[in-house]
Structure 1
Amino acid sequence: MIIRENIIKVPVLDKAFMFSQEGLDDLLSHALFFDLEHYVYKRPICIGVFGCCYYNKSDSALKVTQYMIEKKADASIIVKMAKNYFEKALQENKTNIVTFSGNNDFTVINYLLNKYRVKLDFDRFKKIDIQNLFKKYTGVCTGLKIIEKQFNITRENMSISGTNLAKTFSKIMKDDTYINRMPKEKIEKILLYNQQDVVSLYEILANWNKYINTENREETC
């Protein structure tokens, strides 16, 4: 298992810019920004990369945690590690989970939690889906990369297709030595891609009012 933790400094939150919602006081300080890279073939097979981050107000930084499988045996371990991560986060009052089109990720992780008989109740969290929020306030349903452009978010590397990720995780699941033959640059690219996904979720909500008119929203979306 590859375990990686990064600290990313970010500007001090400006309440005038950040997204807020009635009933969710200081939303970003109590939020987890969550994204999975996974392998699905007819049914969920494994989590390839678990990625999550949260904002630490005391030092104005994001703490990013990632787990990446290296062999088939890691498929069950990564699910248990994800459960432990979320349970610890709840104890630290991280009660919101922010995703992008999160139904896919929750479908995968819930299936695998059930498969490996690991108990975790996501109903204890308030779920916030940025794709749905963007549609609600703009009337447009679009992808994360399009929204990033609107928010002037620049990525360090090019996107990786879901097909290429699935092929990679399929090879890892079938061959325990495959990870040793993977170029280190490819592993770094996958981890950076996932990290940029979760950091983008934070940056969008932290700067929401800069780019989105919240006064003329469609409540029925």
Structure 2
Amino acid sequence: MYVIIRNNVIKVDKIDLEQVFSIGDEKLLYEDALFFDLEHYVYKKPICIGVFGCSYYDKLSNSICVTQYMIENKNDASKIIKMSNKYFNEQNEKYGKKYIVTFSGNNDFTVLRYLYNKMGIDYKVEEIFLQIDLQKEYEKEKKEGIGLKKLEKIFEIDRESELISGSNLAKTINKIICDDTYFDRMPVEKKDKILFYNEQDVVSLFYIMTNWKKYMKTEDKEKKEFETSD
């Protein structure tokens, strides 16, 4: 058995540069960015990555290109670490990606840093790529906390995948690494549901980033109208 590799290409609509998340006058950050999310298992310390998910925007095809790796058993735990390192390295050095977009990415970076160190891999993702944490960016502007699913609703993102709790995902990953035959016994639908859930996370990050000003402005306008009516 080996790590499952899943690639998908998703066509996107025309991007309005007036609405994208920008830093200063730089509006093309999304073209040089990776959109990243992990499903992992932590017990006192990081144990393993269950699913690695990352996407990027391909300008020529006007598409989001998604890559995912998923473990089948405990022997895959070290393989998925090496594969993630190779992916990041290639995206940075070969394709010039320099930003990494997350939603509350500190936990994912902590897991990567710990597992890379454990395997003797000298690679600090958060130092190679400039970080854009959309949760922090939202909270910086709105002065209030928010979760990804609530932010998706604000941005009118219709999540097609079923919601899966972090605790249930962690339990599933734990079963995969503790029982060599568990993955084989898992229904195909459950495997697909986990991969689709992770894919939706990294795709949502792209849509939030490229529609940032449109929905942040809308929310500000609604808030002002509400305050005026009071």
Shared fold, TM over 0.5: yes
Q: Which moved more, 1:191-200 or 1:166-175?
A: 166-175
Match of 2:153 among 139, 149, 153: 149
Structure 2: give runs of 5+ residues left out of the alignment: 221-230
2:133 corresponds in structure 1 to: 129
CA deviation profile, 1:90-109 (whole Å, cap 9, x unmatched): 02111000000000100011
Question: Does the aligned pair in 1 maintain the 2:113–2:124 contact within 8 Å?
Answer: no
Mapped partners of 2:53, 2:61: distance in 1: 21
Match of 1:116 among 96, 114, 119: 119
TM-score if structure 1 supplies the norm length?
0.94
Instruction: Number of aligned residue pairs: give it.
Output: 215
Q: 1:44 to 1:24 in 2, by over 3 A?
A: farther
Q: What amino acid maps onto 2:188 in structure 1?
A: K
Mapped partners of 1:127, 1:170: distance in 2: 29
Shift of 1:213: 3.2
Identity score, percent? 55
Mapped partners of 2:84, 2:64: distance in 1: 18
Larger Rg: 2
Mapped partners of 1:23, 1:97: distance in 2: 19
Shift of 1:85: 0.3
* Superposed counterparts of 1:86-97, under 5 Å: 86-91=88-93, 92-97=95-100
Question: Counting helix residues as a fraction of each chain, which structure ranks higher?
Answer: 2
Q: What amino acid maps onto 1:145 in structure 2?
A: K
Q: What amino acid maps onto 2:192 in structure 1?
A: E
Question: Does the aligned pair in 2 maintain the 1:51–1:66 contact within 8 Å?
Answer: yes
Mapped partners of 1:155, 1:134: distance in 2: 20
Q: 1:149 to 1:202 in 2, by over 3 A?
A: same
Q: What amino acid maps onto 2:118 in structure 1?
A: K
How big is the alpha-carbon RMSD for the aligned residues of Structure 1 and Structure 2? 1.4
1:180 corresponds in structure 2 to: 184
Q: What amino acid maps onto 2:53 in structure 1?
A: G
Q: Please list every run of at least 4 consecutive aligned residues from structure 1 whose deviation after the TM superposition is greater than 3 angstroms.
A: none
Mapped partners of 2:86, 2:53: distance in 1: 13
